């Protein structure tokens, strides 16, 4: 459904201001997005959420999360990236879309509660999430509701740090559910720090760092290598961190 992404640098005014000053974007010409799962991986502040937000807006989703039907805006922090981003796509009309972002999910759940309290047309929004107000569940439980009840085959879903609220075993459930939905034609774009999610079969993984955005295999990823080193010998890694010179 998503084919590729590029930045139209001719339309960028100043390259020395956010978001165009981010090293990950500097050399970004065109990247391939044509896979059931595309993943953006990288250190804090590398630009993953900036990229996810721009893609979400290009797809008509609310930059602070939700489907195209949600229109709330609490902080107005959207960057100008979406204005110069060219997203090649082939998306059938009526394709279901949703942008989940861990850092704003509480706001989204509050907005759903507000809409359900005031709207009299059609079934309450919570019906599409299994019937329960998301504020009555834990964060992790509501993420699973979203994946199990709200997301469906042939939809297009963006998730920024879906693992933030999830125990490892639940992350494995997420992998199984995403594989199932992709088998039914859904497509996912994820930003993640989770080495579990990075193992999603067939994922096209891009690592953002000081040198740009590069496609990487699972075992080449900086996060995966760090986790391996740590889990191989956690106490000596910590001892080295805390050792006095
Ligand atoms: N509205 C803004 N104005 C100026 N700079 C910003 C703005 N939003 C983010 N930045 C900067 O852009 C960089 C990338 O931020 P972004 O949120 O995209 O990172 P990220 O890769 O999602 O990080 P994390 O893993 O912590 O979520 C950060 O260094 C941040 O300080
Ligand atoms: Mg982020």
Q: Name which of 46-50, 106-110, 150-154 the model is least confident about.
A: 106-110
Domain count across the chain: 1
**pLDDT reading at 212 higher than 90:** yes
> Looking at the domain assignment, is residue 85 inside a domain?
yes
Atom of ligand 1 nearest to the CA of 208: 21
User: Hey, is 139 helix, strand or coil?
Assistant: helix
> Looking at the domain assignment, is residue 36 inside a domain?
yes
> Looking at the domain assignment, is residue 126 inside a domain?
no
Express each pLDDT in 158-200 by its tens digit: 999 999 999 999 999 999 999 999 999 999 999 999 999 999 9
**pLDDT reading at 78 higher than 90:** no
> Looking at the domain assignment, is residue 56 inside a domain?
yes
> Looking at the domain assignment, is residue 124 inside a domain?
no
With b meaning 16 or more CB within 10 Å and e meaning fewer, what string describes 23-41?
ebbeebeebebebbbbbbb
> Looking at the domain assignment, is residue 117 inside a domain?
no
Residue ranges making up the domain that contains 199: 2-103+154-242
Q: Are 150 and 66 in contact (CB under 8 A)?
A: no
pLDDT at 66: 83
pLDDT at 77: 72
Best residue for ligand 1 mutational test, from 16, 41, 43, 47 (most atoms within 8 Å of Cβ):
47
For 122-148, what is the mean pLDDT? 83
Q: pTM value?
A: 0.92
> Looking at the domain assignment, is residue 180 inside a domain?
yes
Atom of ligand 1 nearest to the CA of 47: 18
For 108-135, what is the mean pLDDT? 75
> Looking at the domain assignment, is residue 142 inside a domain?
no
CATH number of the domain residue 49 falls in: 3.40.50
**pLDDT reading at 120 higher than 80:** no
């Amino acid at each position: 459904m998503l084919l590729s992404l590029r930045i139209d640098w001719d339309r960028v005014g100043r390259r020395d201001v956010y978001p165009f000053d981010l090293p990950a974007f500097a050399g970004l010409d065109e990247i391939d997005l044509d896979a059931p799962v595309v993943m953006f991986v990288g250190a804090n502040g590398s630009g993953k959420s900036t990229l996810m937000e721009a893609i979400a807006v290009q797809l008509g989703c609310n930059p602070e999360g939700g489907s195209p039907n949600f229109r709330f805006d609490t902080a107005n922090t959207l960057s100008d990236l979406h204005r110069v981003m060219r997203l090649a796509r082939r998306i059938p009309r009526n394709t279901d879309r949703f942008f989940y972002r861990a850092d704003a999910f509480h706001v989204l759940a509050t907005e759903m509660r507000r809409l359900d309290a005031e709207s009299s047309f059609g079934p309450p929004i919570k019906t599409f999430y299994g019937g329960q107000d998301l504020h009555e569940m834990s964060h992790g439980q509501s993420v699973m509701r979203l994946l199990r009840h709200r997301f469906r085959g042939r939809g297009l879903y963006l998730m920024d740090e879906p693992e933030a609220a999830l125990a490892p075993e639940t992350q494995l459930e997420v992998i199984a559910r995403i594989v199932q939905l992709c088998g039914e034609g859904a497509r996912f774009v994820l930003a993640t720090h989770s080495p579990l999610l990075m193992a999603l079969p067939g994922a096209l993984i891009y690592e953002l760092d000081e040198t740009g955005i590069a496609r990487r295999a699972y075992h080449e990823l900086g996060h995966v290598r760090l986790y391996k080193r740590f889990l191989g010998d956690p106490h000596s890694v910590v001892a080295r961190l805390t050792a006095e010179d």
